[in-house]
Structure 1
């Protein structure tokens, strides 16, 4: 973990925004957000494919594949997308939380429990460093997640149009 350059920082090490960023960046779930577009889309498609294990039988119960193949495929695809959406929401909220803590001048922290919270005002040098990290490291990740959401929304709209044409 990266230590703050200010030795009088009262925030516990694990609650310092820079250390929260480092922890998120190196975790197995959140580190995938920093991959290139191709790898990111491949991971999302793998999750979507894996979600068909649950979505396929549910869709088949509603729309028998041998009778209503179009509805079965659209319903299964939409159902499988739920896993992707839940993952994207989790990733977005985690990165957004850390970005908010990095860009905020005041940092709320807990000394030993929920009942004794304090607020620390970042010195200017720490604030500038943290804002640079948020701008150049986290903002592109949030943008990628937003574009992935937009792509999914576009596919849902296209699927709805196709559904009404069937």
Structure 2
């Protein structure tokens, strides 16, 4: 799936298609490309596990000031902040890869920061990269973006409820 060396002078690990495949296989990013049911189940599982870990921490930090309701509410609020950071990281990682796939040029470094080069993709490689970027990665980016917006909305709603209590 990678471009041969005589066609592409970019090092193997810096080729956009290989960066995409490596990101897709990584533990942190792999669950974001699952089917929609598995994606929602994974988010729910992460939420429950995070809540289980944050409830004792919040109760220890504020043990004399809060009721059980407040402990649970602050735990949910902290898990929501964790999810916002998680989705921002996912969005930035995938958007970097899709930017490199859709671009007609690739910036790469041969041996260090001081010798950067720019390679202009051939028509075949550019077409293949753009198809992958538009039809495989963009739906994941949109899913992550909507998940992030939902988390931000819920966070604002939680802050309003906290202010009213």
Pairwise TM-score range, normalised by the shorter structure? 0.7 to 0.9
Higher mean alpha-carbon deviation, 92-101 vs 153-162, is at 153-162
SS in 1 for 2:106: strand
Taking a change above 3 Å as real, the CA distance of residues 66 and 113 of structure 1, as seen in their structure-2 partners, is closer
Alpha carbons 1:49, 1:80 under 8 Å: kept: no
State yes or no: 1:30 paired with 2:19: no
Q: Give the length in aligned residue pairs.
A: 165
Alpha carbons 1:47, 1:84 under 8 Å: kept: no
Separation in 2, partners of 1:9, 1:67: 61
SS in 1 for 2:27: coil
SS in 2 for 1:29: helix
Higher mean alpha-carbon deviation, 97-106 vs 76-85, is at 76-85
Taking a change above 3 Å as real, the CA distance of residues 80 and 137 of structure 1, as seen in their structure-2 partners, is same
Higher mean alpha-carbon deviation, 11-20 vs 36-45, is at 36-45
TM superposition outliers: structure 1 runs of 4+ over 6 Å = none
CA RMSD, Structure 1 to Structure 2 (Å): 2.2
Separation in 1, partners of 2:53, 2:73: 14
Runs of 5+ in structure 2 lacking a partner? Answer: none
What is the match of residue 127 of structure 1?
A: 126
Runs of 5+ in structure 1 lacking a partner? Answer: none
What is the match of residue 161 of structure 1?
A: 160
